[in-house]
Structure 1
Amino acid sequence: MVLLLSGQQLWGQVVTDTTVVAEVVERAAAKVLRSRDIRSVSIGVVVDGKTVTRHFGELTPGGGNPPDDGTVFEIASVTKTLVGYLVAATVAAGKLDIDEDIRSYLPAPYPNLAYDGEPIRIRHLLTHTSGLPGFLPLAWNGVFETFAPDVPARFHALEQQYGKDDFWEDLATVRLSEPPGSTYAYSSAGTELLAYILEQVNEAALDQQLETILTGPEKLAHTQLKLRGTGDAVQGYWMENDAPSPRSFNSLWGGGVGVTATLPDLLRYAALQLRKEDPVVSRSHEILYTDGKSRHIAYCWNVWRDKYGTSYNHHGGTSGTQNWLYVFPDHELAVSVISNHSGPKTAGKLNQTVHRIVRELVDTRR
């Protein structure tokens, strides 16, 4: 859920002493680790250009192996914000218009990707308002809603069996029930199309674009898009399973999941998102969709504004990891929280952890 309180006055002094920030992080970690189902948590904070990272717990039960700054995590759907950044960069370069009909770039006409003459446009993919299903194939939808022990194995088998040709065939079967842009409905299928379109426009694979624009050695040296298996990423656990979950396997373009990163790299990416003067960052934070109530979406970012200021956030989850990334440009503050555990309550507990940290670091007293 996102909330935008328009016109609310912002105030507050942010704690920037890294010793105090570390103490705040340690208190928040101690609280979330009281949950028996969360075995490890890594927390990073960027504040006023300074960085604090702390790691807690064990990556494997009884293993005595806490995560550290070199631990590589699957960041799952936080990948989508990187795709949003690449779209913003491509738009800023004059190579793409977010109001274009997506069918201009697809390998077939796809007359089904319109409703009463209104086509799906790039902006609809960015804001999850395209009307596309959450996943293609449709068999993927609802798998994680059962919370059964065999969910990781079932989903992994589906991932391995599915390819780009299958995606294009399934896309032709989609039928829109209302004009695109009408309703928010989270769609990884839509962000896979964004990745495909980026590859057509920029004439380079998505991983090469990330390497060129975001992940050069001087920037995010330990961040990579890894399709067909996330390689050296730490494995995590689903629910109460003793065996680790399979790593993600994306045989499409990498627009939904597939990026791996260390916590320090996530904070470098967050620091980039705090640069309000950067024209690409500024563009990527523009609100493209609002339902007029509580939901506001930028370039794949949720936008939330309350007494702590405007934040841009995204959650990512697989059957073995969960994480949140929040950036507060008004306060030059960002928080990343990640765990190699995944269950129905993990995302909420990690989100609460972010908010505990923000509450302690941002003094909202007048």
Structure 2
Amino acid sequence: MAIRVLVVDDSSFFRRRVSEILEQDPLLTVVDTATNGQEAVEKARLLRPDVITMDIEMPVMDGISAVRAIMKATPTPVLMFSSLTHDGARATLDALDAGAMDFLPKRFEDIARSKEEAILLLQQRVKTIARRRAFMTPRATAPSPLRGRSTPVGSGSGVVGRLASTPVTSVAPEPVVDRRSLPRRSGKHYQLLAIGTSTGGPVALQNVLTKLPANFPHPIVLIQHMPGTFTTAFAARLDGLCQIGVKEAQDGDQLRPGHAYLAPGGKQMLFEGRPGAARLRILEGNDKVNYKPCVDITFASAAKIYGGKVLAVVLTGMGADGREGARLLKDQGASIWAQDEESCVVYGMPQAVAKAGIATESLSLPLIGEAIINEMGG
């Protein structure tokens, strides 16, 4: 049975372009289009599509408000289209907080080297997130309290202040973690926490990192597949929400306990030095590598510097990035965890690690933050 898609955009040209691309795949069918967010909410209720593609800026009702209303009434996987600008990044992150599953740039040439590659990517993304429809439940609409520092870094009128004050829609209420269900503490001594993720990662990382205390005893590196214009805004958002410090990594950053370093989009993040005095190297991405940043590259570099004193966690994401880097870490004695299928937006990267027999634990997302504290201290 074909996957039924509702295409939402105020541009008739873009609606037609997206519809034509999707209709080229025999497994996809466009059941209707909508010109604004209010129309999208009404047609989602009437047509019950399997996936909705959604613009952000539209008249009558914007895309973020529409996503929030759809998730409350008729939860449906939503793929957002965004501009690759700082404001576009902030709006896209708001849409993901509201319940959207994934995003793509509106300029397809920004994500693909050819027209054919862009077409396949859009079709693949729609088919992938469609699989999550059966797992979706209505979301709460009340904003969640911020769990981070009482005074966000920067003024209220600055980027961080604006991001930190953005209401965050959460699945409510998140169950209280029964510590008896956490993995038994291994007794290993750690020096680094490394987390790799892709599709669904922004929300998953927020879920995990907001649970870590300010006195978390180890540095943290984050590798999220994301464009370069997005990682600055995403790091700032996390910094405002979390008790730990979060920043976009810069070349030469010295790793400090209780701080997380997000790999810049379009580049690769490696380590140099020795444990306890390691620094980050940020290098230009090689076009021969599919992912920039690449989880495999950062994990492999961590294996060289930290050996087995790493806890590596692979969260939701498409593809298999992280599997080979995790294998190198495990060969050194590191601990490897994967997010479980039920709590993933896309069970690709974690599945690759689990199927290869590399992961020692497969954990539900709500458990992972507490499990990290239990294993690593803090």
- Bin for the TM-score computed over the shorter chain: under 0.3
TM-score calculated relative to the size of structure 1? 0.26
TM-score calculated relative to the size of structure 2? 0.25
Which one scores higher on RCO, CA 8 angstroms, separation ≥ 6? Answer: 1
